[in-house]
Amino acid sequence: MYVAPAAMAAYDHGYELLSDLTVIPIGVAGVVCSVALVVLRPRGVPLGRVLTGLLLQLSVFVGRAFLWGSWAEQVREAGAVRPASGALHPAYLRYVDTHWIRIALITGYALPAFVMAVPVAGASSRAAAATDG
């Protein structure tokens, strides 16, 4: 999507607002839940699996603060994705070229979370069936 230089500030503000209202709160909730799982780990769930999930969650925040956030700020300061040279801003290229890492980290968290949820859900179902019968 092309954003004209004159519209870049408004576009960037809208993107940041959307991120601040949706992505950040969900990410914070994910980290809080990961920490809660470390403290209140269900029986049968290995600590390493819980810590892996927490590390994946934290790496998204660290990457956003020190990599992707920094690169976005460089583009913001330039005022355009395409400076006067006409080429794409190098920081924008790094941001886009490494976006797959963020997606992999976020998706990677889903696997340990799913693997942890299945035994807990199964145990809950068995416990409910035992009390009903």
- Measured CA to CA, the distance from residue 32 to residue 37 in angstroms comes to 9
The tens digit of pLDDT for each residue in 91-130 reads: 989 999 998 998 898 888 877 777 777 766 555 556 556 6
Q: pLDDT at position 45, please?
A: 81
Q: pLDDT at position 109, please?
A: 81
* Range with the largest mean pLDDT of 1-5, 8-12, 119-123: 8-12
- Measured CA to CA, the distance from residue 90 to residue 69 in angstroms comes to 14
Residues contacting residue 53 through CB under 8 Å, at least 6 positions apart: 34, 37, 109, 112, 113, 116
**Number of separate domains in the chain:** 1
Q: pLDDT at position 77, please?
A: 84
The range of the structural domain enclosing residue 112 comes to: 5-132
| Residue carrying the six token digits 């603060």 | 65
Q: Look up the pTM and report it.
A: 0.68
Q: What is the DSSP letter of 88?
A: P
